[in-house]
Structure 1
Amino acid sequence: MLDVYYVLKLAVPKEKELIMSEIVCEPDPTLMESMRSVGYDLNTAVADIIDNSIAADARNIDIYYHDYGEEPFIAIIDDGNGMDRNTAIRAMQLAGNNTSAERGAQDLGRFGLGLKTASLSQGRSLTLASLQQGAMVAFQWDLDRLAQSKTWALEELSTSEVVSSTPQKVRDALPTRHGTCVLWRNLDRLNSIFGKTVADLDKAMSDLADYLALVFHRYLHPYHDDPVTQIRIRINDAEVPRRDPFLVDNPAVQKAPPQLIEGTDAVLYGYTLPYQNRLTDEDRSLLGLAEERGKTLFDTQGFYIYRAYRLITWGGWYRMMARSEINKLCRVRIDIPNTLDAQWALDIKKSTATPPKLVRDSMRRFAKSLAKPSRRVQQFRGRKTNKDPHAQMWALIQDRNNEFRYEVNQDNPYIEAFAETLTGKQRLSFLRMLESLASTLPYDDMQTRFAMDERVSMADALDERLRNNAKEFWGMNKILTHLTPDEFVQRYKDSEPFSLSRNAARILEEVTHG
């Protein structure tokens, strides 16, 4: 039985003898019902259980859920160290941990509430079965039974009771030597939010896989300097996808030097992603971009705060600067140890953290300095060009009142050479056509598509198109400008449209020397 004591102090006048009375105020077991509303959702609840698995040195974590015709359940099973009887009882107590006690660097727990509050936030029944050296202990909280008995009676289950009452899928996956199984049943909250059908739960579990892939990505695929042991997480035997919000292995990512926040053990790391048209399908998969799930480059910009290498909160700038299109390539990673929990006001769910003022000041300065590379990438978008403005196909015209527009650059060598082949009347018509083309650029549509991280598809067929352009250009050169092959390549390889391709020099050389 779990006893909680509150001390009631009765004040008396100073001239009289001080008398103190103590009244034992044991809370009603319905407290468990109230604690269901701490604020967990399915994703944060499962993540909290996985925190315990990692703290127990688990290497493999499997999540199972029911199929058609089965009683609804969710089970999280690991191959960690497991627990003996006394440890398991403490784990099932409310606030079984001292928040001020010293913990290991990879201990992801804090309040001693996660197992109970996270589990019972999703279902009315929690069963804990744990093994050490092949010996099993098992305990169960059932909210309906607590309400009926009105006592803090923790049920202890025998091995045979666990085996006989456990779903077959879970029974087959139970550890045999060491590890822990957390089983949720009577999933009333889950059913009310996602629906009662298995298809509804499949969708919820797909979102869960995406969430866990991001939150634990540095445990699933550690960075080269992360002092963590790699783990695996599977849902119904399927691996969660790989995620990396910074694309650390992509050479096109701009990285800022790490910065230690003075007076703390927190470290800042800055990343500027490549422009969206330079992102490969693999890059987009690693970033987890999905506009229908609210995961665009715009939505995911900002600070990524890690506690002991576990992602706590991400996206947004803590009101330090605006979330905007021009900053959407910026990502700031902040690594904090679990010794700074109190200063960061970490909540029970470990899903929000508020930085102290000393840290906020450093975060603000670092983020604003990082925004400059993002703006440069957004403005120039990785275009290869020489310093000659005549090389560009489009000219930017900056008007008054912070307005701008684009015009076709008539001094571009490609345009200029073509215009020289025209008669005076044809040239006038050609220039009018260019003006009409510039005035009808679909700015609004382009802005909308870029905001949704859509990519320009012209790059796929660009090289073949440029090869045809180069042949036409080389033919005109023989008649008009008489450049040598080497002079021709040097003049046009850095000029649009050829500069838009990384293979420009090779294409021009093949055409002129072929």
Structure 2
Amino acid sequence: MNQKIDLPEEDDFRPSAARLVESLRDTGYTKEAAFADIIDNSIAANATKVEVELQYLMGEFRVIITDNGDGMSQQQLKSAMRYGSPRRTNPKSLGKFGMGLKTASTAFCRRLVVLTHQDGRNEGRAWDIDKIITSDRWELETPDSSLYCDDYDALTDFKEPNGTMIIWENIDRLVKMGSDKQMREEIKSLGKELSTELSAVFFKFLNSGDVTISMKVVDAPVFNLKGWDPLCSELNNSTKGVRSRVLREKTVPIEVANKILSFTVKGAIIPSQNELDFSERDYARYSLDNQGLYIYREGRLIWHDGWPHRMYKKESKITRLRVELNFSHELDDVFNIDFRKSRVIIPIEIRDELKRLISPWRQELLKDQVRLISASTNRVHGPADKAIDKHKKSTKNSDIKVEGDIVTIRNQNQMEPTVIEGIRVYDDRTVRVHEEESLIGGDLWEPSCDEEGNTCVTLGKSHPYFHKMYNVCKDNVEAMKALDMLLWSLSNAEHGEFSETNQHTLKGFRQKVSQTLRYLSIELPDAEED
């Protein structure tokens, strides 16, 4: 594989290995996508069992992903370690681009070791970025088996005749370095994030029983992931009569290379939070970010980031609407799948058809939300609206202008107008305190404004403090007004202190306060049922 080829210097246009190997680390992988890509390869190798271990021993952090798949011969292993390895024979394969194993791994580690066992024989190879840089050559290393005897034993003990183990060493981008205690906490946090994401990405595989994915994080016991269905169909088995209303699946035909193929679309309107208990709310994963489209390729979730570009914006009013799109490998080129399998580009004609199908579901939910907000928000927060508006000249500390979709702000810290990204703008100029089902990050409140540039506050109803505090105050109009004025004042202060340099600090402050109140709200009485 590393045979030296002598070429005249003027004809040798091979890229510098030292330069290229560092560049290939920056292909845009998220940590969740990188782990999913490795598991894709395991599933493509017919694995029925995959274990992800976040190992921390003697101050060294390693990632170990083991499967009971087909394993590899020496030649197969060399081929798999090649950047741009040969295309798999099965077009449905999740690991189909020949790049994921290498680029996903080295995006976060400087040394990738692959150990494999097939037909009673062990093989191992490694890419070491620092050694490649030193030699400026693609020198595939055969690791010393004596240094990996424990890993080979663990692979053998995986209770299957064949299998493969991926090891990330010299990890420099996955967690922040710190003390031993800090490292353990960082790794535990990483394990929680990964289990949440992987349970969604491989939901259909996990729920079918075709694949078991387990995790071991530091010293904690091994646990199996449970698939997470964004449509929350599992709630339909509840003995409490709670129902996630699954909307009828529709088949959409599409012509590709003179062939009529198709993909399917189905949706669900998940129950409102007050219909669910704590564990059910946790399962439903309520948040602004979890609304929208979930796109699956051959059963594997490849995209879920709200609504695709130029379809809809994320709106709290439609937080409960989730839509599932399923397509086969035959439509890979139509949806422009990249090698990270984390990006899709939906052609305009398909996007228009999706909007036509989804629009009735969306409009139904919007009508319900408009009715609920008009029936409750104005009545509950009306006294605060009037009190705040009465003193708006005295309390004004920023100049906000709304021009179409662009909102700019000036204040004592920001003398030149600067754009406020992602701020909510309300039509009603008489309302200062608004409610939304949930806010990004699960915050209790966030600053907003109306079309005239008046500061407003938006409250996140999903925050436990919202329910409990307003329940305590519900029979006391003055207490309710005082609470509204306090939260509005926090928003007004944030607008008064906002600048391009400190906006993230202000947001962090708000998130910390909301997080603290989430814990403290446990000490308040539960909201009574109406």
Q: Same fold (TM over 0.5)?
A: yes
- In structure 2, relative to structure 1, the CA distance for the partners of 1:248 and 1:65 (3 Å cut) is same
Partner in structure 2 of residue 25 of structure 1: 13
Equivalence map 1:371-450=2 (5 Å): 371-378=362-369, 396=375, 405-406=378-379, 444=433, 446-447=435-436, 448-450=458-460
C-alpha RMSD of the superposition? 3.7
Task: State which of 140, 162, 167 in structure 2 corresponds to 1:183.
Answer: 167
CA contact (8 A) 2:70 2:162 kept: yes
Is it true that 1:253 corresponds to 2:277 in the alignment? no
The residue type paired with residue 314 of structure 1 is H
| Structure 1 position 311, deviation (Å) | 1.0
Deviation per CA, 1:175-204, whole angstroms, max 9, x where unpaired? Answer: 662111000101122245899722222222
CA contact (8 A) 1:276 1:453 kept: no
CA contact (8 A) 1:194 1:201 kept: no
| Structure 1 position 280, deviation (Å) | 2.7
Task: State which of 451, 462, 469 in structure 2 corresponds to 1:452.
Answer: 462
Bigger-Rg structure (1/2): 1
Is it true that 1:231 corresponds to 2:212 in the alignment? yes
The residue type paired with residue 299 of structure 1 is D
| Structure 1 position 359, deviation (Å) | 1.8
| Structure 1 position 84, deviation (Å) | 1.4
Distance 1:239 1:150 in 2: 42
Is it true that 1:345 corresponds to 2:336 in the alignment? yes
CA contact (8 A) 2:52 2:213 kept: no
Q: TM-score, normalised by structure 1?
A: 0.66
- In structure 2, relative to structure 1, the CA distance for the partners of 1:39 and 1:3 (3 Å cut) is farther
| Structure 1 position 232, deviation (Å) | 2.6
The residue type paired with residue 286 of structure 1 is Y
Distance 2:342 2:190 in 1: 18
The residue type paired with residue 361 of structure 2 is L
| Structure 1 position 142, deviation (Å) | 0.7
Partner in structure 1 of residue 199 of structure 2: 213
Equivalence map 1:76-115=2 (5 Å): 76-98=65-87, 103-105=90-92, 107-115=93-101
CA contact (8 A) 2:206 2:226 kept: no
Aligned to 1:368, the other structure's residue is in SS state: helix
Task: State which of 126, 131, 137 in structure 2 corresponds to 1:151.
Answer: 137
Partner in structure 2 of residue 39 of structure 1: 28
Deviation per CA, 1:256-315, whole angstroms, max 9, x where unpaired? Answer: 2211122142111111111221123232222234xxxxxx1x221111111111111113
Distance 1:324 1:288 in 2: 16
Aligned to 2:314, the other structure's residue is in SS state: coil
Distance 1:269 1:3 in 2: 53
- Aligned residues, how many? 386
- In structure 2, relative to structure 1, the CA distance for the partners of 1:127 and 1:245 (3 Å cut) is same
Is it true that 1:286 corresponds to 2:283 in the alignment? yes
Q: Where is the strand percentage greater, Structure 1 or Structure 2?
A: 2
Aligned to 2:17, the other structure's residue is in SS state: coil
Partner in structure 2 of residue 412 of structure 1: none
- In structure 2, relative to structure 1, the CA distance for the partners of 1:438 and 1:113 (3 Å cut) is closer
Distance 1:180 1:24 in 2: 36
User: Which consecutive unaligned segments of at least 5 residues does structure 1 have?
Assistant: 6-21, 223-227, 290-295, 382-393, 398-403, 408-434, 461-499, 502-514
| Structure 1 position 139, deviation (Å) | 0.7
Partner in structure 2 of residue 66 of structure 1: 55
CA contact (8 A) 1:131 1:175 kept: no
Distance 1:39 1:56 in 2: 25
Task: State which of 274, 299, 304 in structure 2 corresponds to 1:314.
Answer: 304
Task: State which of 246, 266, 269 in structure 2 corresponds to 1:269.
Answer: 266
Deviation per CA, 1:95-153, whole angstroms, max 9, x where unpaired? Answer: 1133xx76253x11221000000111111111111112332111111111212222222
Partner in structure 1 of residue 124 of structure 2: 138
Q: TM-score, normalised by structure 2?
A: 0.64
Partner in structure 1 of residue 294 of structure 2: 304
Aligned to 2:324, the other structure's residue is in SS state: strand
Distance 1:395 1:95 in 2: 58
| Structure 1 position 456, deviation (Å) | 4.6
CA contact (8 A) 1:127 1:141 kept: yes
Distance 1:201 1:114 in 2: 23
Aligned to 2:25, the other structure's residue is in SS state: helix
Partner in structure 1 of residue 188 of structure 2: 202
User: Which consecutive unaligned segments of at least 5 residues does structure 2 have?
Assistant: 237-242, 255-260, 388-430, 437-457, 472-528
Aligned to 1:190, the other structure's residue is in SS state: coil
| Structure 1 position 377, deviation (Å) | 4.7
